[in-house]
Amino acid sequence: MRPAGWKFDAGFAFFACLFAALGVRLWAIQVRGHATAVAEQDAQAWALEETPSARGDIIDRNGQTLAISKQVPSCFADPKFVEDRDEAVTKLAAALSLDRAAVQAKLDSGKRFVWIKRRCTPEEEKAVKALKLRGVGFETDTRRMYTLGNSMGQVLGYVDIDGNGLEGLEREYQHVLSGQEGEEWVLRDARRDMISSFTRPVKDPQPGATLQLTVDARIQNIAEQALAKIMEKHSPESAVAVVTDPRTGEILAIAGYPNYDPNDPSAAKAEARRCRAATDYVEPGSTWKGVIMAGLLEKGLVKPDEMIDTHGGNWLYRGRHITDVHGHGTISVADVLVVSSNVGMAVMGTRMKPLDMEAWVRSFGFGKQTGAGIPGESPGVLPREHPWAPQTVVSASFGYAIGVTPLQLAQAYGAIANGGTLFQPHLVKAVLDENGHEIERSPLPPGKRMVSAKVCRDLVTMMIQVVERGTAKTARIDGWLVAGKTGTTKLMGKDGHYADGKYAASFVGFAPAEDPRLLVVVVVKEPQGAYYGGTVAAPAVGEILKEGLAILEVKPDAAKVKLQRDAWAKKAAEGRK
């Protein structure tokens, strides 16, 4: 017979054992396992994350912003914490204007962190937050903004969704613009939203530097407007313009059509994104004659007033006919340039030895990249034979058998315009810190003396007459004298032969002619209808020069220019008597 109260004793013993076991378990968790529990809690709630650095701006020479990074919200999710996934997918897709299948795939990826949508609008952020979805949150992200839209897109390039430069200066100067990311411990709640009051900075991010360009956004706009008029009037395959300061080699504008908006690069074709002024080359035709004429004058092979027989515009040389559009008889060296005689240039070109001509051309930088800092720049094309054959020398005398870029032409003519010194064209002026203080100035090689000052004066005088009474009258502007040279070149077809009806129209001009502040090169490929350089390209150069000089506050001297023009007109009238 069991003693009385045995049930109470058994129950007491059971609960005593139970509480003892619980006590041991609590001791194991809170005392012996404290460090482990804390580590597990930290691992779930705390995360070491990178703190993005602010990408540096790109600005023009006057401080106008061309590219800037703006903070925007980006939506993310931790799929482990997302409840009722089907409903969450439907709501997220609707709120963020996304494809439902794409959202589903992200949540089913098996990852603990996925971006649902980068760079959301404020309205999208508000709509998602109103859903109060567990495991879905927002982080501050950056979006690269190009403030002038299509302007300079081919030069600036663009960045990927993570802010890494993919093309143009954004890629070339990634190391300057990107800065250095920081690190911090971040505490997140059950919804995986960051608790901003609980962060532990480890390393502060270092912002990227600001890239200051030599470009003047005002002159860039003028150049682009001039090209837009060409595109509308002549419907060419492409048109480019380069504007430089010939005294320094600084690029003040570089534009091309077709172009694209770097804010939406995926909408553009590859050919619209490349900087044609630096990547595309053509046979320069008559714009090349100034370079060869400089060599002939410098080497004393011709004199400005010497008379040259142009054979009536048709000269047979080694079985090949060299022709002019308009035939002339015996004319001066200066007039060979003014009327743009191929025959006259060919006759004079034969006076230069093949090795000398090749050396002269290469000394101006043709056949290699200018080093302007534009990714994908072409070195152009020079004949591979060495030495050049006599036929090659003749062709090269008037701009065939070679390929040059508009940027290379600007570099060469800059030396003629400034009195004989060749400067490397360049786009980057300086690197600035976040306070606008100069960290680094773009290192440039010193200018190289190419032509004597006298030869330059003689050549500029000839080039003024090209505009005043030659093939480029459409480039004349009130108040200033413009010097320049036109070019009209046949283009190759797909079969490797010159194609009927395919031309490149070009013009190189600078002003004020005797003390140039601006030099402009315009090249137009495959214009429809009119195709001469003096008709298609020269008016645009005149427009850019006129508006650009006004922006630079270069005062015209209308009275002096009128006197000079009257004197030339009187001399021409006397010559006709």
Query: DSSP secondary structure string, 185-232?
Result: EEEE-TT--EEEEEEEEEE--BPPPEEEES--HHHHHHHHHHHHHHHH
Q: Are residues 397 and 513 part of one domain?
A: yes
Of 173-182, 442-451, 566-575, the range with the lowest mean pLDDT is 566-575
**Angle at alpha carbon of residue 283, lines to 354 and 516, rounded to 5°:** 90
Per-residue pLDDT band for 196 (boundaries 50, 70, 90) equals very low
- Whether 193 has a pLDDT exceeding 60, the answer reads no
Q: Are residues 294 and 195 part of one domain?
A: no
Task: Check: CB of residue 92 under 8 Å from CB of residue 128.
Answer: yes
Q: Are residues 232 and 123 part of one domain?
A: no
Q: Are residues 199 and 321 part of one domain?
A: no
Q: What is d(CA 340, CA 336) in angstroms, rounded to the nearest whole number?
A: 6
Q: What is d(CA 123, CA 259) in angstroms, rounded to the nearest whole number?
A: 31
Q: Which domain holds residue 413?
A: 217-260+273-431+439-576
Classify residue 206 as exposed, middle or buried by CB count within 10 Å of its CB (0-12, 13-18, 19+).
middle
Q: What is the pLDDT of residue 109?
A: 87
CB under 8 Å to 480, separation ≥6 — which residues? Answer: 511, 512, 513, 545, 546, 549, 554, 556, 557, 561
Strand ranges for 423-517 from DSSP E: 428-432, 438-441, 448-449, 483-492, 498-511
For 319: left if phi > 0, alpha if psi spans -120 to 50, otherwise beta; the answer is left
CATH number of the domain bearing residue 366: 3.40.710.10
Q: Are residues 535 and 401 part of one domain?
A: yes
The closest of 91, 87, 88 to 78, measured between CA atoms, is 88
Residues catalogued as catalytic: 286
To the nearest whole percent, how much of the chain has pLDDT over 90?
66
pLDDT digits (tens, 9 = 90+) for 348-377: 999 999 999 999 999 999 999 999 989 899
**Angle at alpha carbon of residue 187, lines to 183 and 190, rounded to 5°:** 140
SS3 457: helix
In the predicted model, what is the mean pLDDT of residues 58-62? 96
In a domain, 4, yes or no: no
Q: What is the pLDDT of residue 563?
A: 83
Mean pLDDT score of the chain: 88
Q: What is the pLDDT of residue 273?
A: 93
Q: What is the pLDDT of residue 522?
A: 98
Q: Are residues 162 and 230 part of one domain?
A: no
Domain count, the chain: 2
Q: Are residues 224 and 192 part of one domain?
A: no
In a domain, 550, yes or no: yes
Per-residue pLDDT band for 44 (boundaries 50, 70, 90) equals low
In a domain, 223, yes or no: yes
Q: Are residues 111 and 204 part of one domain?
A: yes
Q: What is the pLDDT of residue 399?
A: 93
Top mean pLDDT of 25-34, 265-274, 286-295, 428-437 is at 286-295
pLDDT digits (tens, 9 = 90+) for 419-440: 999 999 999 999 998 888 888 8
In a domain, 255, yes or no: yes
Dihedral angle of Cα 212, 435, 146, 123, to the nearest 10 degrees: 180
Q: Tell me the pTM.
A: 0.84
Q: What is the pLDDT of residue 418?
A: 96
- Whether 485 has a pLDDT exceeding 60, the answer reads yes
pLDDT digits (tens, 9 = 90+) for 235-275: 999 999 999 999 999 999 999 999 999 999 988 888 899 99
Q: Are residues 109 and 81 part of one domain?
A: yes
Of 194-198, 207-211, 493-497, 504-508, the range with the lowest mean pLDDT is 194-198
In a domain, 166, yes or no: yes
- Give me the half-sphere count of Cα atoms (radius 13 Å) on the Cβ side of residue 95: 24
Q: Are residues 240 and 140 part of one domain?
A: no
Per-residue pLDDT band for 43 (boundaries 50, 70, 90) equals low
In a domain, 29, yes or no: no
In a domain, 44, yes or no: no
Q: What is the pLDDT of residue 256?
A: 95
Top mean pLDDT of 54-58, 76-80, 217-221 is at 217-221
pLDDT digits (tens, 9 = 90+) for 91-106: 999 999 999 999 999 9
- Whether 40 has a pLDDT exceeding 60, the answer reads no
Q: Are residues 448 and 322 part of one domain?
A: yes
Higher confidence at residue 4 or residue 443? Answer: 443
In a domain, 245, yes or no: yes
CATH number of the domain bearing residue 133: 3.90.1310.10
Q: What is the pLDDT of residue 197?
A: 45
The closest of 279, 313, 284 to 400, measured between CA atoms, is 284
Q: What is the pLDDT of residue 494?
A: 82
Tell me whether strands 136-146 and 182-188 are parallel, antiparallel or unpaired: unpaired
Tell me whether strands 518-525 and 238-245 are parallel, antiparallel or unpaired: antiparallel
Per-residue pLDDT band for 48 (boundaries 50, 70, 90) equals low
Q: Are residues 117 and 235 part of one domain?
A: no
Higher confidence at residue 68 or residue 570? Answer: 68
